[in-house]
Each structure stands twice: as C-alpha cells, then as structure tokens.
C-alpha cells in the first residue's frame, strides 16, 4: 500500500471533495473486496488484495540525480506548454551569457549581478530589451 505509483499524475480540482466513507467504498469496489472482515483474517491474502495494482521501486538515495530529473521534466513541460501556446518565453539567464565569476552583466547599463538580481533588474529597468528577446 505504501509504494510508488509510477506514470500517474496528481489530479487537479475535479468536482466535489469526497467524504472518507465514499473514498473507502470506492477503493473497495476497485480492489474487488467483497467482505473485508473475512478477508483481513488471512493476512497474506489481504496484502495481495490491497497491493494488487502497485509497483515497488527503491527509494533513490542520491538526491542530486532526483533534483536533476525533476528539473529536466520541468524544462520539457515548459517547452511543451510553450509550443501549445506558440510563444516561447525564455528566462533572462538563458539569454545573457554568464561571466567567469558566475555573475551576469546587464545588457543596457553594464552593471554586474547574480542570477536573481539580474532577472529583477532587467525586468524592471529595460522592458524594451525584454520584449525584443521574448522574456516575460
């Protein structure tokens, strides 16, 4: 019961929130549980029933790979959404090249900023440049 469900997505707002009793009765219908009092007496059979459609995956101990995978998925999702809308919105840090020391230089006033600082600065000070480079 406490395992991963791969290939499933979190549901958005779909209708009215169900009560606990309704959720339990729906789950019992999905798992084809007829008489749960009798079936819980045999522990092995009960575990097979409730874990029927689950897949076990080991927990990843390497956090950096998990974070990288999530970032790649987010980037792919953003690109897919941009193609649907037919407007590719880019980040400021993708357009401006990074300096050797990890800072970015403003294309208008030539001041040096870190990543978050350059984003806020460019969006507030040089709106024309943002429009030309399709940055929102």
If one compares 55 and 38, the residue with the highest pLDDT of the two is 38
52 and 102, same domain (yes or no): no
- CA 55/CA 32 separation, integer angstroms: 18
Structure token pair of residue 135 = 């940055």
Q: In DSSP terms, which residues pair with 112 in a beta bridge?
A: 105
Q: How far apart are the first and last CA of the chain?
A: 43
- pLDDT tens string 7-46: 666 666 666 778 888 888 888 888 888 888 898 899 998 8
21 and 48, same domain (yes or no): yes
Give residue 2's pLDDT. 42
Give residue 1's pLDDT. 42
Find the domain containing 83 and state its range: 60-89
pTM exceeds cut of 0.85: no
Structure token pair of residue 124 = 């507030």
- pLDDT tens string 68-122: 999 999 989 888 877 776 666 677 877 888 888 888 888 888 888 888 888 888 8
Task: Report CA-CA distances (Å) from 21 to 13, 17, 32, 34.
Answer: 20, 12, 16, 16
1 and 28, same domain (yes or no): yes
Looking at the structure of the chain, the number of domains it has is 3
98 and 136, same domain (yes or no): yes
């Amino acid at each position: 019961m406490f395992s991963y469900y791969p290939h499933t997505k979190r549901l958005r707002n779909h209708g009215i929130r169900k009560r606990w009793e309704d959720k339990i009765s729906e789950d019992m219908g999905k798992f084809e549980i007829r008489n749960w009092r009798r079936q819980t007496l045999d522990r092995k059979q009960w575990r097979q029933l409730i874990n029927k459609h689950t897949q076990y995956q080991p927990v990843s101990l390497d956090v950096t790979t998990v974070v990288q995978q999530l970032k790649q998925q987010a980037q792919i999702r953003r690109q897919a959404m941009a193609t649907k809308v037919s407007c590719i919105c880019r980040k400021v840090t993708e357009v401006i090249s990074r300096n050797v020391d990890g800072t970015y230089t403003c294309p208008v006033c030539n001041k040096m900023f870190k990543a978050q600082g350059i984003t806020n600065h460019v969006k507030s000070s040089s709106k024309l440049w943002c429009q030309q480079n399709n940055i929102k």
